[in-house]
Homo-oligomer: A and B are copies of this chain.
Amino acid sequence: MTKPKTWTLKSIAKELGVSNATVSNAFNRPDQLSKARREEILAACKKLGYFGPNKAAQSLRRGTFNIVALVLPDSVEYMVSDPVASSFMRGVSAVLEKNGINLLLFSGNNDNLNSVVDFVDGFICYGRPRNKQLVEQLKQVAKHVVTVDFNIGRDASVNVNNQQASFDIAKHALQKNDDRVAILGLRLLDNDVLCRVYEHNEFEAGQSIAHQRLRGYHQAISDAGITLGDDRTWNIPESSERYASIAAKEALSSTPRPNVLLCMSDLIALAAMREALKMGLSIPEDVRIVGFDGIDEGQRFVPKLTTVHQNSEEKGRIAATLFLSKEQQTAEIDYQLQLGQSS
């Protein structure tokens, strides 16, 4: 009697003596058939053990999947180990779960979005992936993207209010109007070069995170009555110990030797602190250093780093909400200054 051991829409339709379309409509579009017919079909399906249209086929046809891929900055392992990252995940998953959307973990070690792009509705990307290819692919092939803590000029992103936060932390670092300020910037330029930046037209208008932070610094500096020399800004192409150390050494050896270092990431700030200490300078007496991010290591370092810390779980919730809304915008999340002894 019951023909196949596993039912399909087609075999069910044949069994019940109706068309494919009618069965499909019974499940998806109640207005397309009579109530009686619909209930009859649904009941029969239940009895026969057909649980509804196959989701894989449905997805292929419709082009929607109810899956979003969370692009991790690193391995999945890292993600569940790191407390900040996993509280972000908590926020994301809480929102998605409530909406019946499944979460797929996409490791940052993976070098090809193509392996998943065909069966997800889009991506939430937590931090700029190391792998540049990945960023390109996000731009080009993703149906929908929400980026977190960085920007690719597509769809939505969630960030701290970089300009305000940078203003706050810089204001805190600056004390007198004869302070000698230097800025260690992260990815101020498009090209991957470590350099001292003398001038850049787009700084005042740019929408990248680095530019936003730069404006915050500039405003605080100017509010403090300080004039920033036009050779006081360095560009570091990526937040790595190696590059940061080189830039920090150069900045701290430059004339006039800065006594305030505004760093666009904690990693940079920590590298700068190490260099300063190596040069025999004392912190914060000889040089005050502030970072951005609020990573754990900054709190363990002696002296403790003064920096900007963000609410990670809320960030996750907002990222997911933004994803679901499909709107194109930049959302902001809360932050607090985390005061250490480095400034």
Q: Is A94 an interface residue (CB 8 A)?
A: yes
Q: Which chain A residues (31-68) contact chain B, with CB distance < 8 Å?
A: 51-52, 54-57, 59-60, 65-67
The docked-state distance in angstroms from the alpha carbon of A58 to that of B127 is 31
Q: Is A97 an interface residue (CB 8 A)?
A: yes
- Copies of this chain present in the complex amount to 2
Residue of A87, A104, A106 most packed against chain B (CB within 10 A): A104
- What are the residues of chain B within 8 A of A56 when measuring CB–CB? 56, 59-60, 65, 118-119
Are A76 and B89 neighbours in the complex by a CB distance under 8 Å?
Answer: yes
Using A51-B141, A56-B60 as known contacts, say yes or no to A115 and B66 having CB atoms under 8 A apart: yes
Interface string of A110-121 (1 = CB under 8 A from B): 100011111100
Using A56-B56, A104-B102 as known contacts, say yes or no to A77 and B51 having CB atoms under 8 A apart: no
Are B103 and A105 neighbours in the complex by a CB distance under 8 Å?
Answer: yes
The docked-state distance in angstroms from the alpha carbon of A62 to that of B94 is 33
Q: Is A16 an interface residue (CB 8 A)?
A: no
- What are the residues of chain B within 8 A of A66 when measuring CB–CB? 115
- What are the residues of chain B within 8 A of A116 when measuring CB–CB? 55, 102
The docked-state distance in angstroms from the alpha carbon of A333 to that of B290 is 47
| Residue contacts A-B, CB under 8 angstroms, 25 given | A51-B141, A54-B118, A55-B117, A55-B118, A56-B118, A57-B118, A59-B119, A60-B60, A65-B119, A75-B93, A75-B97, A76-B90, A76-B93, A76-B94, A76-B97, A77-B94, A80-B80, A81-B86, A86-B86, A93-B107, A97-B107, A97-B109, A100-B115, A102-B104, A102-B116
List 7 other contacts, CB 8 Å, given A77-B90, A77-B93, A105-B105. Answer: A67-B104, A67-B119, A75-B97, A76-B94, A80-B86, A103-B104, A103-B105
